[in-house]
Amino acid sequence: MRLFIAIKFNNEIRSALLSMQEQLKRTNIRGNYTKPENLHLTLAFIGEYGDPDYVLETLEKVRFKPFELALDGVGSFGRLWWAGLTASVELHNTAAQIRHFLADADIPFDRKKFSPHITLIREPSKPTMPAIEVPAASMTVEEISLMRSERGRNGMIYTETGTIGSV
């Protein structure tokens, strides 16, 4: 099973992200838009791993206080367009802790540098993103989720398999 560790969004951020996608759609940009229920912030991508209980047990070592996330800006990684977040030391420290404990437990994960972003669309029909408004939206992060990813008939289906909470 494919696993990843993520922050799920509150309704305020989810609505703002959907508004950004609608702005893109109004400019006739087609592509693979992230489904509303799949919008998230990945902290660590594990990939194929058969023991989610061991991952959750490892995540229980992570200690973080509630922290704020706020939308801020947009950008792209080639053919992937994303929404950004205001710089957050707490977010980076939490992601670093997660990755440290995964490594200590010999749980494989993608070791690319952590670059917080929220995927809005993959394979857009135009080469450059038009200017869009980033609505003000924020949330307090109080829990982190272990997610399972499965290919469904109509795209990826993400299912929460467990959470860890802040201290």
SS (H, E, C) the chain: CEEEEEEECCHHHHHHHHHHHHHHHHCCCCCEECCHHHCEEEEEEEEECCCHHHHHHHHCCCCCCCEEEEEEEEEEECCEEEEEECCCHHHHHHHHHHHHHHHHCCCCCCCCCCCCCEEEEECCCCCCCCCCCCCCCEEEECEEEEEEEEEECCEEEEEEEEEEECC
Mean pLDDT of 1-29: 97
The pLDDT tens digits for 67-116 are: 999 999 999 999 999 999 999 999 999 999 999 999 999 999 999 999 99
Where residue 154 falls among pLDDT bands split at 50, 70, 90? confident
Mean pLDDT of 8-36: 97
167: pLDDT strictly greater than 90: no
Where residue 1 falls among pLDDT bands split at 50, 70, 90? confident
Where residue 152 falls among pLDDT bands split at 50, 70, 90? confident
- What pLDDT was estimated at residue 153? 84
The pLDDT tens digits for 42-74 are: 999 999 999 999 999 999 999 999 999 999 999
- The amino acid that residue 28 corresponds to is N
19: pLDDT strictly greater than 90: yes
Mean pLDDT of 131-135: 96
Average pLDDT taken over every residue of the chain: 96
For the domain covering 2-165, report its CATH number. 3.90.1140.10
pTM, rounded to two decimals: 0.94
- Encoded tokens for 78: 């080639």
